[in-house]
Amino acid sequence: MAKHPGGKKAAAKPAARVKQLWHRAEQLEAAGRAAEMEQALRAILDVVPEHFGSLLKLSYLAYGVGRLPIALDFAKRAVQANHGDAQGHLLLGQILSDLGLTELAEAELSIAQQLDPQDARILDSLGWVLAQQGRSEEADQVYRRALAIKPDAVGTYYNLVANKKFQPDDSDIAMIEALREREAEFTQDEKVWLHFALAKVYHDCGDYDRAFAELQQANGMKQAQVQFSARSQQQLTDQLMQVMDAGFARRYAGAGHAAEGPIFVLGMARSGTTLVESLLCRHPQISGIGEVPYIHNLAQGCCQRVGSDLPYPQFLGDLTPALCGQLGEEYIALTRQFGINTSHVVDKTPGNFMFIGFILALLPNAHIIHCMRNPLDNCLSIYQQFFSNAMGYAYDQRNIGEYYVQYRRLMDHWQQVYPDRVLDVVYEDVVADSEAALRRMIDYCGLDWDDRCLEASDEAVKIRTASVWQARQPVYQSSVQRWRHYEKHLAPLLETLRPVLAEGEYYKGTSD
């Protein structure tokens, strides 16, 4: 009997090809060649579209560079390909959490935890999601379960510290201080987390000198891992101001998508953007999507669509009104993937202050709320915080000050080019009278006042920031003039900020 032309030999060919590509992908991963690794993994999917390992790694690759929609798609496909693998559910839960979809994230992480009850990383991620939802006590319990499994998980200790406020007699302090005795065993990142955690503990307890000593260690270690050039930042600011000038504003006025719902809350990191978002989202016609990279990604990808090799913002002169409308429509579609049905949506990505001209070219009816804060309080708060994203300026007092000065230059430029289009909201004013500040913002957004805005609710907005605990506290004066506690340690920052402090225009607040 004649053999079928296929048979085992033919069936083995795809398997051999997949094995070869997978080995190649692993080699490229070890060599740090991510782009080529991605090509190899996508080639595997051409042979086996539901190859679990490739889908998972492609999701991790996209997640690592902030391409959340792509990461989400690959993670969903990975879970479908192998529903019984905990790692797929863990990654999907983490991505959903970063997208603000905390209920869905909790469901995925709960499945992952059932599949692998002894994986402390799953519990750590679940605790973070619970903290995002304001369920602090539950989060605390889950973090402690994670630590029972992995007692040396410094990242979990960091999350535990961020989830609560400490008093001097708190029994957890000794447990966290004991980690310092084992510091030599930890990775560099773990050491950074540890010192930031201790700094927060001592700050909560009012021991500001010890807190600052820990901050110096944490920031010094992190500074060695990042790069920042004050000169490059100044040059970028110069370019932004030159490209997006008054002529740019006139040329693209009304060119983009006519949607009136987008609200951009922006400013320096730690300037009060989370507080402003949470207040705005009390209005029944406003929902928040937290911090998302959509504007940044549209700007970075736009150069290819205009046929330019130049980086942002140098290619913006090649924009066409039609492309502005298309990009604006794409942005609206991205915000609607959350299932939001309110008329207005808050994008509270602080760094969008770099893109105001671009935003208004794409979305000419967008509402832009600029959060301002006492420069010293703002910059100190940055120095006190560990940031998971790439903020190379954030770990040195002079670098923070230099970045702040350029931010102020650029915001002054936007105010001149787009008069009456940017609403300044001062953090200290919001603290002093949150209702008055909110009424002003609601009016600016073109909405009628609703008395439900006076009802505080954790369900109004899902907080997704580096300071979950602080963001969920009532509006207190404790964050105003906080820098006074550290004044003797802030000489480099004071010197660098001198040009801004001399303005005195919003250098507000009374000592607490």
147-158: pLDDT as tens digits: 999 999 999 999
- SS3 string, 258-290, reads CCCCEEEEEECCCCCHHHHHHHHCCCCCEEECC
pLDDT score of 389:
65
352 found inside a domain? yes
For the segment 212-238, the average pLDDT, to the nearest whole number, is: 96
pLDDT: is 93 or 510 the higher one?
Answer: 93
pLDDT score of 14:
83
Residues 342 and 286: beta-carbon distance below 8 Å:
yes
- What percentage of the chain's residues is helix, strand, coil (to nearest 5)? 65, 5, 35
- Residues 196 and 236 occupy one common structural domain: no
130 found inside a domain? no
pLDDT score of 98:
83
- Residues 466 and 381 occupy one common structural domain: yes
- Residues 220 and 235 occupy one common structural domain: no
Separation between Cα atoms, residue 261 and residue 350, nearest integer Å = 18
pLDDT score of 461:
42
510 found inside a domain? no
- Residues 209 and 280 occupy one common structural domain: no
Handedness of CA 443, 445, 448, 449 (dihedral sign): negative
pLDDT over 50 (residue 470): no
pLDDT over 90 (residue 251): yes
Separation between Cα atoms, residue 192 and residue 215, nearest integer Å = 9
Q: H helices then E strands: how many in the chain? A: 25, 5
184 found inside a domain? yes
What CATH number is associated with residue 447? 3.40.50.300
Separation between Cα atoms, residue 404 and residue 492, nearest integer Å = 13
Residues 201 and 166: beta-carbon distance below 8 Å:
yes
Q: Which residues make Cβ contacts (< 8 Å) with residue 385, sequence separation at least 6?
A: 196, 269, 270, 394, 466, 467
The pTM of this model reads 0.86
For the segment 282-301, the average pLDDT, to the nearest whole number, is: 90
Residues 471 and 364: beta-carbon distance below 8 Å:
no
- Residues 234 and 218 occupy one common structural domain: no
pLDDT over 90 (residue 192): yes
Of 417, 410, 378, the C-alpha closest to 394 is 378
List, in sequence order, every residue forming a beta bridge with 367; answer none if it has no partner.
Answer: 263
Go through 297-306 and write b for each residue having 16 or more CB atoms within 10 A of its CB, e for each that does not: bbbeebbeee
For the segment 255-281, the average pLDDT, to the nearest whole number, is: 95
pLDDT over 50 (residue 510): no
For the segment 218-244, the average pLDDT, to the nearest whole number, is: 96
Q: Which residues make Cβ contacts (< 8 Å) with residue 504, sequence separation at least 6?
A: none
For 445-494, list the strands marked E by DSSP. Answer: none
pLDDT score of 336:
86
For the segment 46-61, the average pLDDT, to the nearest whole number, is: 96
Residues 358 and 299: beta-carbon distance below 8 Å:
yes
- Residues 259 and 403 occupy one common structural domain: yes
Q: What are phi and psi of 422, to 5 degrees?
A: -120, 125
pLDDT over 50 (residue 341): yes
Handedness of CA 37, 337, 463, 405 (dihedral sign): positive
pLDDT over 70 (residue 469): no
69 found inside a domain? no
- Residues 309 and 442 occupy one common structural domain: yes
pLDDT score of 462:
40
- Residues 205 and 340 occupy one common structural domain: no
Where a domain ends, among 163, 196, 225?
A: 225
pLDDT interval class at 211 (50, 70, 90): very high
As to burial, measured by CB atoms within 10 angstroms (0-12 exposed, 13-18 middle, 19+ buried), residue 436 is: exposed
Whole domain around residue 463: which residue ranges?
230-501
255 found inside a domain? yes
pLDDT interval class at 4 (50, 70, 90): low
Q: SS3 for 84?
A: coil
**Token pair listed for 15:** 């398997």
* Residues recorded for the chain: 512
- Residues 221 and 241 occupy one common structural domain: no
Separation between Cα atoms, residue 327 and residue 361, nearest integer Å = 9
pLDDT score of 279:
94
Of 225, 502, 512, 177, the C-alpha closest to 388 is 225
pLDDT score of 502:
73
Segment 315-338, tens digit of pLDDT: 998 999 999 999 999 999 988 877
Separation between Cα atoms, residue 358 and residue 502, nearest integer Å = 30
pLDDT: is 425 or 508 the higher one?
Answer: 425
Beta strand 344-347 with 286-288 is parallel
Of 168, 31, 150, the C-alpha closest to 159 is 150
Separation between Cα atoms, residue 163 and residue 161, nearest integer Å = 5
Ramachandran quadrant class, 429 (left: phi over 0; alpha: psi -120 to 50; beta: rest): alpha
Q: What angle do CA 306, 309, 312 make, to 5 degrees?
A: 80
Where a domain ends, among 200, 225, 250?
A: 225
**Token pair listed for 92:** 């999907």
- Residues 302 and 380 occupy one common structural domain: yes
Segment 96-135, tens digit of pLDDT: 988 777 889 999 999 999 999 999 999 999 999 999 888 9
Residues 82 and 88: beta-carbon distance below 8 Å:
yes
pLDDT score of 503:
64
User: How distant is the alpha carbon of residue 208 from its chain centre?
Assistant: 28
178 found inside a domain? yes
pLDDT: is 206 or 465 the higher one?
Answer: 206
For the segment 482-504, the average pLDDT, to the nearest whole number, is: 90
Cα–Cα distances in angstroms (integers) from residue 8 to residues 12, 18, 314, 425, 429, in the given order: 6, 16, 57, 70, 75
- Residues 210 and 300 occupy one common structural domain: no
pLDDT interval class at 457 (50, 70, 90): low
**Token pair listed for 151:** 């007692």
pLDDT score of 88:
97
Q: Which of 77-81, 177-181, 185-189, 478-482 has the lowest mean pLDDT?
A: 478-482
Go through 205-235 and write b for each residue having 16 or more CB atoms within 10 A of its CB, e for each that does not: beebeebbbbbebbbebbbeeeebebeebee
Segment 345-399, tens digit of pLDDT: 999 999 999 999 999 999 999 999 999 999 999 999 999 999 876 789 999 999 9
For the segment 21-30, the average pLDDT, to the nearest whole number, is: 94
- Residues 388 and 493 occupy one common structural domain: yes
pLDDT score of 13:
74
Separation between Cα atoms, residue 510 and residue 367, nearest integer Å = 30
Q: SS3 for 490?
A: coil
Of 189, 188, 169, 191, the C-alpha closest to 179 is 191
Number of domains making up the chain = 2
Where a domain ends, among 197, 225, 253?
A: 225
Q: Could you give the dihedral angle defined by the CA atoms of residues 419, 425, 428 and 434, in that order, rounded to the nearest 10 degrees?
A: 140
pLDDT over 80 (residue 429): yes
39 found inside a domain? no
**Token pair listed for 5:** 């032309």
Separation between Cα atoms, residue 157 and residue 154, nearest integer Å = 5
Separation between Cα atoms, residue 265 and residue 366, nearest integer Å = 11
Separation between Cα atoms, residue 146 and residue 148, nearest integer Å = 5
For 376-494, list the strands marked E by DSSP. Answer: 422-426
